[in-house]
Amino acid sequence: MDVELNLNGEHLHAELEPHELLLDVLRDRFRLTGAKRSCDVQVCGACTVLVDGEPVSACSYLAVDARGHELMTIEGFAQTEEFAEFEAAFSRHAALQCGFCTPGMLLTLKALRDAGELATEEDIRHGLEGNLCRCTGYGSILVAARELAGAVEEQDQ
C-alpha cells in the first residue's frame, strides 16, 4: 500500500507491505542507517527513533503504523541546532566508544528532556533503562546526560 510518512520533516511516500518493520524501511528504503538492529526484540534501544516525540523501538514497530505521525531519526535530529548541544556533551565527556548505541541514547535523552523528565539522576537512570551500551560502563553517559539536564556545570568537569 502507498503510505505517506512524515520523516524528519519531509513528506515521503513508500510502497509498504503491512508486515514491514519501521527499522527495515528506514534503513533499506531511505538509507537512514543511524537506527541500528541489535537485539531485535525491543530490549536494547539501538533502533530507537521518535514517533511524535516519543521513543519507540523501530525493530518492533510496523512501518504502516507510522502513517499520520511525525518520525524523527538521528539523521533528522542531527540537522537541528539542539543536536549540537547533545553532540558537545557526549564528546566532552567521552560518552561514546563504538557509537552503536549512541543514536538511540541521544534520541531517548532528547525525548526525556522535551518531556521535562530529565531533571534528576534518578530520572536519567530510569529514562535510559531501555538503552543498553556495551562499551562505556554508563558513567560517562550519565555525566553527559546530567549536563544536558542542566545538573552539571561545564566548569565542574
Q: Is 119 in the site for ligand FES (CB under 6 A)?
A: no
Single out the segment in contact with ligand FES by CB under 6 A; choices: 8-16, 78-86, 100-108, 142-150: 100-108
Single out the segment in contact with ligand FES by CB under 6 A; choices: 25-33, 40-48, 112-120, 143-151: 40-48
Return the DSSP state at 59.
G
Residue closest to 104 by CA, chosen among 38, 16, 25 = 38
| Binding residue for ligand FES, selected from 34, 49, 55, 57, defined by CB under 6 A | 57
Q: Is 33 in the site for ligand FES (CB under 6 A)?
A: no
Residue placing its CB nearer to ligand FES in the complex, 13 or 19: 19
Return the DSSP state at 62.
B
C-alpha cell at 90: 557526549
Task: Count the residues of the shown chain that bind ligand FES, applying the rule CB under 6 A.
Answer: 23
C-alpha cell at 115: 518531556
Edge-to-edge strand list for the sheet holding 10-15: 10-15, 2-7, 70-72, 48-51, 54-57
Name the 3-class secondary structure at 20: coil
Q: Is 46 in the site for ligand FES (CB under 6 A)?
A: yes
Residues found near ligand FES in the complex (CB under 6 A): 37-40, 42-47, 57, 59, 96-102, 133-136
